[in-house]
Structure 1
């Protein structure tokens, strides 16, 4: 992977983008610290698919799955229930 200071990446963006497409991921640095990566779209899509858990992994996981599936219920107002009774 090539490394580009943020100033060079901004000033020569077309060249930066072409390098990404032809050579692969390009790292952007800010104050000599690696900050971001520009990836070809095919690589990004491959990573997105690989990051998703399979149905089997979801079903076998120890973490709770229903917390996100069931919306919170609003508590009944007792004053209205008492007034109706």
Structure 2
């Protein structure tokens, strides 16, 4: 199996994790993150609710993780790494 194929398969698995979608009344169709990510975001919300961390800090951390976990970032990274090794 080539490097490109391995990375593309990994990207497809990542996209499959976000394959669950939910219909929200105001927002429309929204992708639901995997359970481990939901638990992480819930823990951040709980820490902010009991004032262990401030709300702005919780929002910045959450935004950073959402940006880092964008749906297609794995695909782009996989293609880039495959071109580097070729």
TM-score class, shorter-chain normalisation, is: under 0.3
Higher share of residues assigned strand: 1
Larger radius of gyration: 1
Tell me which protein shows more helix as a share of its residues: 2
Give the TM-score, by structure 1 length. Answer: 0.27
Q: Give the alignment's TM-score, normalised by structure 2.
A: 0.27
